[in-house]
């Protein structure tokens, strides 16, 4: 059962609806509560404006007084208001809460009931069947060779345009295995710069191979490396050779 409010003292004026308090907590009361004034008269609380000011109805009928005692009685309408609020909540959310079933009582919601099955991030990822890639960082740009990062479409020329390079040896050292494209110095030391597309394959260090095809010229060259690169060599084919009468091949 609610208690009376009687903290502090009040000052009232005859014919005025305003009650001024000192040390009062009028915010604890509500409109509709009962105010018992210093004159022992009964009034209705209209508006508890602040902790130290409220208005009553009817206007105060007794003699003016200051620093007097008073009482505020909570009305019995509170339980009904609470019941109405709870009923409204049940009407609005009852079906949803009922649909939760046993989920509403489980500390950890399993995957088959819409949860992750875990109490923390690691357990949640495990419950969802996520591997280590779920926490790995993506590569930055299409030439990122940072160990442990997750490749994207287009990285190192996979599924997109080749990685543009300016030097084939540097590309081998920095990219490792990749699909690359860029200018290369014509093999044989002529100094002729040609445009080519190719593949670089690295086993480890300077052990691997590179292949290139001249763009627009059908020339295919390759070189291998074993602790250093061997010279580029050209592949002969039907486009750059002719068969002689004695069945030997001659470069065109």
pLDDT score of 1: 42
Q: Return the structure tokens found at 71.
A: 């009482």
Domain boundary among 74, 99, 124: 99
pLDDT score of 145: 82
CATH (domain of 60): 2.40.30
Domain boundary among 30, 64, 99: 99
CB 184 within 8 A of CB 196: yes
Residue 250's beta-bridge partner residues? 242
Residue 35's beta-bridge partner residues? 43, 72
Cα–Cα distance for residue pair 177/163, rounded to 1 Å = 11
pLDDT score of 190: 45
Q: Per the omega criterion (within 30 degrees of 0), is the bond before 186 cis?
A: no
pLDDT score of 78: 63
Looking at residues 92-105, what average pLDDT do you find?
Answer: 70
pLDDT score of 64: 95
CA distances (Å), origin 96, targets 90, 99, 103, 107, 209:
9, 5, 12, 19, 64
pLDDT score of 74: 85
The answer to whether residue 67 scores a pLDDT higher than 90 is yes
Q: What percent of the chain has pLDDT over 70?
A: 87
Find the range with the poorest average confidence among 33-37, 65-69, 186-190.
Answer: 186-190
Which of 207 and 241 is assigned the larger pLDDT? 207
The answer to whether residue 188 scores a pLDDT higher than 60 is no
Domain boundary among 64, 82, 99: 99
Confidence band of 57 (pLDDT split at 50, 70, 90): very high
Confidence band of 76 (pLDDT split at 50, 70, 90): low
The pLDDT mean for the chain works out to 82
The answer to whether residue 88 scores a pLDDT higher than 70 is yes
pLDDT score of 58: 95
User: Is residue 225 in some structural domain?
Assistant: yes
pLDDT score of 162: 83
> Smallest Cα–Cα separation from 116: which of 129, 104, 98, 105?
129
User: Is residue 113 in some structural domain?
Assistant: no
Q: What are 1-47's pLDDT values in tens digits?
A: 457 889 999 999 999 999 999 999 998 888 889 999 999 999 999 99
The answer to whether residue 159 scores a pLDDT higher than 70 is yes
Find the range with the poorest average confidence among 100-114, 134-148, 181-195, 208-222.
Answer: 181-195
Same domain, 10 and 77: yes
Same domain, 166 and 231: yes
pLDDT score of 117: 73
CB 179 within 8 A of CB 163: yes
pLDDT score of 189: 44
> For 62, what's the count of Cα atoms within 13 Å in the CB-facing half-sphere?
18
Number of domains in the chain: 2
User: Is residue 111 in some structural domain?
Assistant: no
Which of 86 and 54 is assigned the larger pLDDT? 54
Long-range contacts of range 22-30, CB-CB < 8 Å, 24 or more positions apart?
22/52, 22/67, 24/51, 24/52, 25/51, 26/50, 26/51, 26/52, 26/53, 26/54, 26/72, 27/51, 28/72, 29/5, 29/54, 29/72, 29/74, 30/74, 30/75, 30/78
User: Is residue 93 in some structural domain?
Assistant: yes
Domain that holds residue 3: 1-99
Residues 6+ apart with CB under 8 A from 219: 213, 234, 240
Confidence band of 247 (pLDDT split at 50, 70, 90): confident
Which of 205 and 119 is assigned the larger pLDDT? 205
């Amino acid at each position: 059962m609610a208690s009376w409010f009687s903290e502090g003292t009040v000052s009232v004026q005859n014919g005025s609806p305003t009650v001024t308090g000192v040390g009062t907590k009028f915010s604890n009361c509500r409109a509709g509560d009962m105010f018992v004034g210093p004159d022992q008269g009964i009034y209705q609380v209209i508006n508890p404006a602040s902790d130290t000011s409220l208005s009553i109805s009817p206007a105060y009928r007794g003699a003016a007084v200051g620093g007097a005692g008073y009482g505020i009685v909570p009305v019995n309408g509170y339980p009904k208001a609470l019941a109405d609020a709870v009923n409204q909540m049940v009407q609005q959310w009852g079906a949803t809460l009922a649909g939760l079933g046993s989920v509403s009582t489980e500390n950890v919601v399993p995957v088959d009931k819409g949860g992750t099955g875990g109490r923390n991030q690691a357990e949640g990822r495990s419950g969802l069947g996520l591997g280590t890639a779920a926490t790995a960082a993506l590569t930055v740009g299409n030439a990122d060779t940072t160990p442990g990062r997750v490749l994207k479409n287009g990285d190192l020329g996979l599924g997109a345009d080749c990685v543009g390079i300016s030097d084939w040896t540097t590309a081998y050292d920095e990219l490792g295995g990749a699909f690359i494209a860029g200018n290369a110095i014509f093999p044989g030391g002529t100094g002729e710069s040609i445009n080519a597309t190719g593949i670089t394959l690295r086993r480890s260090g300077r052990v691997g191979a590179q292949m290139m095809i001249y763009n627009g010229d059908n020339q295919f060259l390759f070189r291998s490396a074993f602790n250093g690169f061997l010279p580029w060599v050209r592949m002969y084919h039907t486009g750059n050779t002719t068969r002689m009468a004695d069945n030997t091949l001659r470069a065109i």
